[in-house]
Amino acid sequence: MSHPARRGRRKARARSARRRAQRKRKPSALAALTSGALALPGLAGSAAAEGLIDQISSEYNFSRYSEGSIPASKVAPGSERGRYDIDMHQVHLAAPLGERFALGLDVVHESMSGATPWYVIPGDDGDPVQVMTGATVEDKRTDLLLEGKYYMDRSLASLSGGVSFEKDYFAINGGLGGQLDFNDKNTTLSSGVGVSIDSIDPTDSAEFPLRPDHEKKQSYSAYAGISQVLRRNVAIQSTLTYSLGNGFLSDPYKEALVLGEPVADSRPDLRNQIAWLSRYRHHFSSLNATFHTDYQFYWDDWNITAHTLEVAWYQSLFESFRLIPSFRYYSQGQADFYANYYDQARSDGYYSSDYRLSPFGAISWRLRAEAHFRTWEIDWVGSFSWQRYLSSGSYALGKVSAPNPGLVSFDLYSVGLTTRF
Amino acid sequence: MRALVASLSLAALCLSGTGCAAVKPWERDVLARPDMAWEPDTLEAKRDAHVHYSKEASLPGGGAGGGGCGCN
């Protein structure tokens, strides 16, 4: 090995030691600002901290998701009004393996139950009303994701692979990501690719003849991003993400009313999606607080455009507490083949009354509280959060003449515990 | 929003080599704060991305690793 190379390794070890020392003073202060990844199914590298993992850490979060009932005026007579509830357990484990390698494991388990929107019909007064699934849907989903990271002096490579299974759905995904720092680590470029191969086996297809027996789809994704430190307390990031969906992109459990008769939800078997996300972080030392704002522009070739704006205020209180109020606004247009119901047959044969392809806006707010403490040589963070999400045609940026009656509202409560050894 | 546009313009200047002064490694104490991370609440961010992906047409804005649907 040459002398310059040995010097490089010594410098890297010294940097590593400095980082460890800094971490002992501020246990969770990972150098997260180098992150540029935007995670999609199959993409390596989450949007979480891409700083060096040099401690064993574990995180657990339990969430209860509960959708509000559909108002009586928006549901078909005799149809179920109650909607979906989900209990979600999330675990994240991370550990360094030697100086340059780290492994992370994510496990998610969800239990879901409730009724979901099926199709839309004209109501007695002419306004559209929702028909819900008759029987209660019950399912469980388990998702495993393993990620390896290899750290070099100025760069990082990551490789991930995962599976997700439900009674009627199986997906396998993989991804490759990379990150390069330069300009004294004030600038970071990141990019990655991912693939997900999904298999769909809808339940009760013998009972419901419009449901397919078995379908497949594939998703391919790629992103490229840049992060820039502007000042000692200000940083920005901008990431462009592209995704191509191919195969069965319809919802096997939904139908649409065409000339008074229900038909299977039917969408194009190709979808190109582009999202451009920009983020801004600004710390105010005098207030001991940090301001976050994220804006995303989205477009796809089903003719949907969407805008998302999120703001959050991270307020540190005393030495050990943090309070985080945040607000999110979202607005989307409709897919060009979407309608509440169809008075004419379409020449392309595409039909969907899914509220997720309808024009609407949504507002949500969240309050999160954290307590940080250290005991038995372990750093602990306990958290609680509550979030409310409301969607409506009247919240959209453009005028919506006939909003989908199945638009969702939900509450989300969660508790979490993080430990670092 | 105005601050965001101004910052993006400043970043373009930085990258062109004509703009902002670089922050030195020993000046990164504020940048290393957990609340300056792009996503400080990692698990909640992943969960929210999955929920939004299931209820909206847009791609998740960040955080949803893994695959699967759970999309009812």
- Using one digit for the tens of pLDDT, what is the confidence trace for A37-94? 233 444 443 333 356 667 889 999 999 999 999 998 899 888 888 898 999 999 999 9
What is the spatial distance between Cα A342 and Cα A33, in angstroms, rounded to a whole number? 49
B2-29 average pLDDT score: 62
> A332 touching B, CB under 8 A?
yes
CA–CA gap between residue A360 and residue A354 (Å, rounded): 12
For position A22, what pLDDT does the model report?
A: 36
SS3 of chain B: helix, strand, coil, percent, to 5: 45, 0, 55
Mark yes or no for CB contact B33/A198 under 8 Å.
no
Q: How confident is the model at residue A32 (pLDDT cuts 50, 70, 90)?
A: very low
Chain centroid to CA B41: 12
Give this prediction's pTM. Answer: 0.85
Confidence of residue A29 (pLDDT cuts 50, 70, 90): very low
Q: Nearest by CB to A84, from B27, B63, B72: name it.
A: B72
Least confident segment among A16-25, A111-120, A378-387 = A16-25
Judged by a CB distance cut-off of 8 A, whether residue A132 touches chain B is: no
- Segment A275-289 mean pLDDT: 95
Minimal Cα–Cα distance from A92 to chain B, Å? 8
Select the residue from B36, B48, B51, B71 to test the A interface by mutation, using most A Cβ atoms within 10 A.
B36
Indicate the DSSP class of residue A207.
Answer: T
Tell me what the mean pLDDT of segment A223-228 comes to: 93
Q: Is pLDDT of A36 > 50?
A: no
CA distance A356 to B29: 43
Q: Are B32 and A22 a contacting pair at CB < 8 A?
A: yes
CB contact under 8 A, B57 and A304: yes
Q: Is the pLDDT score of B4 beyond 90? A: no
The pLDDT confidence band at residue B2, using thresholds 50, 70 and 90, is low
> Tens digit of pLDDT for each residue in A292-315?
999 999 999 999 999 999 999 999
Q: Are A268 and A248 in contact (CB under 8 A)?
A: no
Listed by number, the residues of chain B in 38-67 with a beta carbon closer than 8 Å to a beta carbon of chain A are 38-49, 51-52, 55-67
Percent of chain A with pLDDT over 70: 87
Asked if B47 and A290 come within 8 Å (Cβ–Cβ), the reply is no
Q: What CA–CA distance (Å, rounded) separates A293 from B61?
A: 12
Inform me whether the pLDDT recorded for B55 exceeds 70. yes
In the prediction, which pLDDT does A37 show? 28
What CA–CA distances, in Å, run from A11 to A17, A31, A152, A171, A264?
Answer: 10, 18, 12, 43, 62
Residues A306, B56: C-beta atoms closer than 8 Å: yes
Given this model, what pLDDT does residue A31 score?
A: 26
| Average of per-residue pLDDT values in chain B | 72
Nearest to A228 among B11, B39, B68 (CB): B11
Per-residue pLDDT, averaged over A190-201, amounts to 93
As a residue count, chain A comes to 421
A5-19, A178-192, A210-224, B48-62: the lowest-pLDDT one: A5-19
Mean pLDDT along residues A136-147: 89
Mean pLDDT of B47-62: 86
- How many CB atoms are located within 10 Å of the residue A298 CB? 22
pLDDT of amino acid B11: 54
Residue A357 has pLDDT above 80, yes or no: yes
Flag whether residue A396 sits within 8 Å of chain B, measured between CB atoms: no
Q: What is the pLDDT, as a whole number, of residue A363?
A: 98
Measured in degrees and rounded to the nearest 5, phi and psi for residue A363 equal -120, 145
**pLDDT higher than threshold 70 for residue A117:** yes
Query: What is the pLDDT, as a whole number, of residue A53?
Result: 67
